[in-house]
């Protein structure tokens, strides 16, 4: 088992660019595959999750080259050009890939089976399967979980779908199926979620329309190959944003971070907590805006997270809990029950880790209440954390070391490579004292 030992430091500094955006990398591969012509991309995230998507598309007959470690060239086969395979398509640990492939493959002429690693095989898939069945798709799960079996040759119809729970992955699955459905497919969100799919479909030439909370796509559609400049992943930058705030000296420059407004909920939360973060050189060319972030040591205040921020920061809440534990006063998060069905039950696992490090808090069914510390004194005791193979849990507790009394040992860290390959090296380059242990 891979583990980390992270020793407290006070200074973080440097100029870094975190890897490319995972959500955009997944979608670039999928849309490029069903486009006509060639799609190229720079900034591709060569993580295990994204490579699982690449391998699955290659198994379906798509030629994808990687001229460099962070670039791809996709020879599109057109909307109807994918070809079936008798082998199951292995999504690894990538829940995004599995749910989006459910939509993409619902309108194909062939059968397909989606599987994943032990963690993904325990995750719920019915939230995406249910609306796809309403469109006419034939999808089978095993008690709501993978393997997911999709029967081909179905005639899909567009639907008007009111999402009961805000989910960018479900919205994206329905919209991808809508490319193969007769008529219009409309999805209405109860709250704003990531809009990468809408933005990227437009970039590939698809007529996507938004009216208020409703987004629609009309088939037949045709995608044209294009160039995609993939920004640095905001979710990966989030760990360094919080780390830079918790340090007592130094300054971190995070370059070309994706600033899609449906992703930057944690930035809004940290600014409301008093974080000293400067947004510089905002660039809006292309579908995804980017900016440089300058992060300085900050004295944080507790906050009650607004309901409209929750879907915009859902992946960043593990590291938010670390920031909240170091903030003066009470912090409260509610309405985040989706955290229980991520790579782990992130509420329970974060609660166990906070308990192991001596942080008083109250675990709630849909969130957490924490009372933070005063000043710059250490908040976390030295201790050992079980990350349960969840990359965001592991990286969050590595950040906690900045305000710890002694080393924090973090077990089961191999899955960090699913979203952030090279995290340990980049963290060390900024000054974090992280040692990898096997």
Average the pLDDT over 220-237 and give the result: 94
In terms of domains, do 255 and 219 share one?
A: no
In terms of domains, do 97 and 173 share one?
A: yes
- What is the distance between the alpha carbons of residues 146 and 141, in angstroms, rounded to a whole number? 6
CATH code assigned at 225: 3.65.10.10
In terms of domains, do 54 and 114 share one?
A: yes
The pLDDT mean for the chain works out to 96
**pLDDT for 2-33, tens place per residue?**
999 999 999 999 999 999 999 999 999 999 99
- Tell me, what's the pLDDT at 419? 86
**pLDDT for 181-223, tens place per residue?**
999 999 999 999 999 999 999 999 999 999 999 999 998 789 9
Q: Which of 229, 262, 278 is the last residue of a domain?
A: 229
Residue 355 main-chain phi, psi, to 5 deg: -65, -45
- Tell me, what's the pLDDT at 438? 81
Q: Which of 229, 244, 265 is the last residue of a domain?
A: 229
**Among residues 292, 315, 390, 412, which one is catalytic?**
315
In terms of domains, do 403 and 419 share one?
A: yes
In terms of domains, do 267 and 384 share one?
A: yes
For residue 62 the two structure tokens come to 């798509």
What pTM was computed for the model? 0.91
In terms of domains, do 219 and 297 share one?
A: no
Beta strands at 252-258 and 290-296: parallel, antiparallel or unpaired = antiparallel
For residue 81, pLDDT beyond 90: yes
In terms of domains, do 157 and 146 share one?
A: yes
CB-based contact 295:257 (threshold 8 Å): no
- What is the distance between the alpha carbons of residues 86 and 100, in angstroms, rounded to a whole number? 20
What DSSP string describes 315-381?
A: GGHHHHHHHHHTSBSEEEE-S-GGGGGSSS-HHHHHHHHHHHTT--EEEETTEEEEE---TTS--BP
Percent of the chain with pLDDT over 90: 94
In terms of domains, do 202 and 282 share one?
A: no
- Tell me, what's the pLDDT at 377? 82
Q: Which of 196, 229, 262 is the last residue of a domain?
A: 229
Work out how many domains the chain is built from and give that number: 2
- Tell me, what's the pLDDT at 373? 81
In terms of domains, do 131 and 165 share one?
A: yes
**Of 130, 132, 54, the residue nearest 91 (C-alpha):** 54
Question: Where does residue 129 rank: exposed (0-12), middle (13-18), buried (19+ CB within 10 A)?
Answer: buried
- What is the distance between the alpha carbons of residues 108 and 274, in angstroms, rounded to a whole number? 50
Confidence of residue 37 (pLDDT cuts 50, 70, 90): very high
Q: Give yes or no: 111 in active site.
A: no
Q: Supply the DSSP symbol for 422.
A: T
**pLDDT for 84-141, tens place per residue?**
999 999 999 999 999 999 999 999 999 999 999 999 999 999 999 999 999 999 999 9
In terms of domains, do 28 and 177 share one?
A: yes
Confidence of residue 285 (pLDDT cuts 50, 70, 90): low
In terms of domains, do 144 and 182 share one?
A: yes
In terms of domains, do 277 and 170 share one?
A: no
Average the pLDDT over 43-52 and give the result: 95
Confidence of residue 262 (pLDDT cuts 50, 70, 90): very high
Q: Which domain holds residue 361?
A: 3-20+232-437
**pLDDT for 373-399, tens place per residue?**
876 789 999 999 999 999 999 999 999
């Amino acid at each position: 088992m891979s583990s980390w030992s992270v020793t407290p430091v006070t200074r973080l500094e440097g100029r870094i660019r975190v890897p490319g955006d995972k959500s955009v990398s997944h979608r670039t591969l999928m849309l490029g595959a069903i486009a006509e012509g060639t799609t190229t991309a720079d900034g591709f995230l060569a993580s295990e999750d994204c490579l699982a998507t690449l391998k699955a598309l290659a198994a379906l007959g798509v030629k994808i080259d990687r001229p460099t470690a962070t670039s791809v060239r996709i020879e599109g086969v057109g909307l109807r050009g994918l070809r079936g395979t008798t082998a199951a398509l292995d999504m690894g640990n990538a829940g995004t890939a599995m749910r989006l492939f459910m939509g993409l493959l619902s309108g194909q002429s062939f059968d397909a089976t989606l599987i994943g690693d032990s963690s993904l095989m325990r995750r719920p898939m019915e939230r995406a399967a249910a609306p796809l069945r309403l469109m006419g798709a034939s999808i089978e799960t095993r008690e709501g979980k993978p393997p997911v079996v999709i029967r081909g040759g179905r005639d899909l119809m567009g639907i008007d779908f009111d999402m009961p729970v805000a989910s960018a992955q479900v919205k994206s699955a329905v919209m991808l199926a809508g490319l193969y459905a007769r008529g219009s497919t409309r999805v209405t969100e109860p709250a704003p979620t990531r809009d990468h799919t809408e933005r990227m479909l437009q970039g590939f030439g698809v007529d996507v329309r938004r009216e208020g909370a409703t987004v629609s796509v009309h088939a037949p559609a045709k995608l044209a190959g294009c160039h995609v400049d993939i920004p640095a992943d905001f979710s990966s930058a989030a760990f360094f944003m919080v780390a830079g705030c918790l340090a007592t000296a130094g300054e971190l420059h995070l370059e070309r971070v994706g600033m899609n407004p449906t992703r930057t909920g944690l930035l809004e939360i940290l600014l409301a907590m008093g974080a000293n973060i400067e947004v510089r050189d905002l660039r809006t060319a292309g579908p995804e805006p980017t900016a440089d972030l300058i992060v300085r040591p900050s004295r944080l205040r507790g906050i009650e997270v607004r309901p409209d921020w929750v879907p915009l920061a859902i992946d960043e809440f593990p590291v938010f809990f670390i920031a909240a534990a170091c903030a003066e006063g009470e912090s409260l998060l509610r309405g985040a029950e989706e955290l229980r069905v991520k790579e782990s039950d992130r509420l329970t696992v974060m609660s166990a880790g906070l308990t192991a490090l001596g942080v008083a808090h109250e675990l709630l069914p849909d969130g957490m209440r924490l009372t933070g510390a005063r000043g710059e004194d250490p908040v976390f005791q030295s201790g050992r954390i079980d990350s349960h193979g969840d990359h965001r849990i592991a990286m969050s507790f590595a950040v906690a070391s900045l305000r710890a009394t002694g080393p924090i040992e973090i077990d089961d860290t191999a899955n960090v490579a699913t979203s952030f390959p090279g995290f340990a090296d980049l963290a060390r380059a900024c000054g974090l004292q992280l040692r990898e242990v096997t």
